[in-house]
Amino acid sequence: MDAFARGGLRFDVVDAGPADGEVVLCLHGFPQDSAAYAGVLPLLTARGLRVLVPDQRGYSPGARPAQRRDYALRELVADAVALLDAAGAPRAHVVGHDWGGVVAWALAAWFPERVSALTALSQPHPAAFQSAVLTSTQAVRSTYVAAFQLPLLPERLLLAGGGRLLSASLQRSGLPADLARGYAHRMGEPGRLTAALDWYRALPHAGRVGPVDVPVTYLHGRQDPFYAPAAVLGTAAHVRGSSFRRQALGIGHWVPELAPQAVADAVLEAVDAHS
């Protein structure tokens, strides 16, 4: 399938690999889209897995509701569940990066019966992140989140000059120039950047993400500028059970783009252990 629907919205999705393969659901963050997993996808399908990679709410042209509450975490998670339903997948191995990692953690906490295992990329558990805001450098690292709450101004600044500022900021954070320019260019679509920023603006409606009981692999970059060590190291406390593995990579934030083999290896190991 190339799309699925929920609540009158239409979501674009990459659906690759054998239709009867075990399902892997990959969720992107800001300001990415399904292209974030371009290097990971063929490594998984080559092993007989069916890989679903949606352009999430706000990123798909047919799924850009106007109200910020429409981007609350409950809606984002419900979108992921709807995709699994449309694909006929009772369960999936879930991979999430950045904001997609927040969705993945919440999906595992709220619908553990739908998640065989979780591979979190960069993003700590939300509760570990929140605790770190009060006890570490995390608040300073997240000042952009407060800036994104302003109406209209972030859009004007980030899209000025054809998205030069957005592209430059992505490159400064370690994303290769060609990928940064591509993400920035696609953010120029009508309404796309506002919808993407509404994920941040809907944070007051996020809801609590509790501990997860599913097996978790957590991959993160040692040079990630966005997450304090306290958030990273605190994540293990929010995974119940004995199956938690953390792997630090010698890169920055953009794990699926910069380390696709490491991501694929982690997912394949989870599939072998928890199918």
Q: What is the pLDDT of residues 14-40, one digit of tens each?
A: 999 999 999 999 999 999 999 999 999
Q: Indicate whether 17 belongs to any domain.
A: yes
Q: Measuring CA to CA, which residue among 115, 141, 112, 145 is closest to residue 27?
A: 115
Q: Indicate whether 234 belongs to any domain.
A: yes
Q: Measuring CA to CA, which residue among 32, 46, 148, 141 is closest to residue 95?
A: 32
Whole-model pTM: value is 0.97
The CATH number linked to 236 is 3.40.50.1820
Q: What is the mean pLDDT of residues 202-224?
A: 96
Q: Indicate whether 180 belongs to any domain.
A: no
The 8-class DSSP code of residue 250 comes to S
Do the beta carbons of residue 73 and residue 92 sit within 8 Å?
A: no
How many structural domains is the chain composed of?
A: 1
Q: Indicate whether 107 belongs to any domain.
A: yes
Local structure of 93: helix, strand or coil: strand
Q: What pLDDT does residue 242 have?
A: 75
Q: Indicate whether 147 belongs to any domain.
A: no
Q: What pLDDT does residue 195 have?
A: 98
Q: Is the pLDDT of residue 210 over 80?
A: yes
Task: Quick: pLDDT tens for 133-147.
Answer: 999 999 999 999 999
- pLDDT, mean over the chain: 97
Local structure of 92: helix, strand or coil: strand
Q: What pLDDT does residue 157 have?
A: 94
Do the beta carbons of residue 226 and residue 141 sit within 8 Å?
A: yes
Q: Indicate whether 163 belongs to any domain.
A: no
Q: Is the pLDDT of residue 92 over 90?
A: yes
What is the β-pairing status of strands 216-221 and 244-249? parallel
Structural domain range at position 216: 3-140+206-274
Q: Indicate whether 196 belongs to any domain.
A: no
pLDDT category at 103 given cuts 50, 70, 90 is very high
pLDDT category at 219 given cuts 50, 70, 90 is very high
d(CA 78, CA 92): 14
Cβ-defined contacts of 228-232 (< 8 Å, 24+): 228/132, 228/136, 228/137, 228/138, 228/141, 229/136, 230/128, 230/131, 230/132, 230/135, 230/136, 230/137, 230/138, 231/124, 231/128, 231/129, 231/131, 231/132, 231/136, 231/138, 232/124, 232/128
Q: What pLDDT does residue 275 have?
A: 83
pLDDT category at 241 given cuts 50, 70, 90 is confident
